[in-house]
Chain A
Amino acid sequence: MKNLMEQFRRGQLTAIEQYEIGKYDVRLVHIENKSHFFQGNGWRAVVNATSKQEAMKMLQDELQHIKEIESEANDILSGTQRDSKLR
């Protein structure tokens, strides 16, 4: 388990396929059973899905969630700061 993740992080897994998902360049670098290993610029993701197509759709959804949560981050922080003062 550990060795595979280390290779993954070091970028030692060769790209099987490359895609563009939204603004992201994505490389699929490894498939092991249901686990699909994707790599982008500065990020890595493992997606567990029954097919490559499903894994790509799940990754696309996840990248969209990340964009949404980044836009919420200020709301979360301002709520936190406001309530900390009230305490």
Chain B
Amino acid sequence: MKPMIYFQALNEIANFGDWSGSYETAGNTIDQSEDASYLYRGKYGLRVSCGVDDGYAYVYKDGLGISVAPGESVFLSFIQNFASNPSGLVYTTLWKNNNGDTVFVSLVRDDGKGQFTVVDDAGNWNTKIGNAVLTSKSHWITLELRRATSSTASDGYGKLYIDGVEDVIRDGQDNYDKFTSLNYIRLGVPTGSSKTGFVIDFDEVVVANRMVRPPLPKGINL
């Protein structure tokens, strides 16, 4: 069965035209840059530079309106390149449901590993730290959030994949009531509590009901 693609941002349209918008605070920037474009996939990517602690620099997409059935997952995939390890925790994505509740956040740590947090029905923020180092080269990152199958089951989970391979899972999550929908995502530096001194590039963003790799032009093999 073909995947259902809910949202895609290739970042080729001027002024973040794929997105609802962008937001940045003093000393932090997000740009569409040729230098941030992933190889053979268009001209522009997103470049985020963070020069001031606790600032913001992100793009966001509102009004996704994705209904999540019990036991189903939503996958957010993108190319990510941190040139070097950040000086502290850096948030990279944030997901909200139709009620405006945060349901999932992802991060990169100062040791270069990934991390994410699943928010459960009780409002607990349940974190998992990844195994692989994500910095110093481009990686195809996928984050999966699965809704629990029933209100009494604790079988929801969050999962991080790197280059198509599972890196880490946080299972046993009771998120049945919380993750009924996905309406909003942020990508970049989305929380205002990240630390300074880094540049991140993002490109080829896909939200789907399965992990999706963007197609390459004919004749190109990476």
Write the residues of chain A forming the contact surface with B, with a CB cutoff of 8 angstroms: 1-2, 4-5, 9, 32-35, 42-48, 58-59, 61-62, 65-66, 68-70, 72-73, 75-80, 82-84, 87
Known: A2-B31, A69-B102. A83 touches B128 (CB 8 A): yes
Which residue of the partner chain, among A58, A66, A78, contacts B192 with CB atoms under 8 Å?
Answer: A66
Interface pair A9/B14, CB less than 8 Å apart: no
Flag if A73 contacts B191 (CB, 8 Å).
yes
| B residues with CB within 8 A of A | 14-17, 19-26, 29, 31-33, 44, 56, 60, 62, 89, 91, 94, 96, 100, 102, 105, 107, 115, 117, 123-129, 184, 190-193
Of B21, B127, B190, which is within 8 A of A58 by CB?
A: B21
State the main secondary structure of chain A at its contact with B: helix
Q: Are A58 and B193 in contact (CB under 8 A)?
A: no
Q: Pick the contact of A43: B26, B44, B115 (CB < 8 A).
A: B26
- B20's partner among A4, A47, A77 (CB-CB below 8 A) is A47
Contact present for A45 and B115 (CB under 8 Å): no
Q: A43-B26, A66-B56 are in contact. Are A83 and B126 (CB under 8 A)?
A: yes
**Whole-angstrom distance from the CB of B101 to the nearest CB of chain A?**
9
Nearest CB in chain B: distance from A7 CB, A: 13
Residue of A nearest to B52 (CB): A42
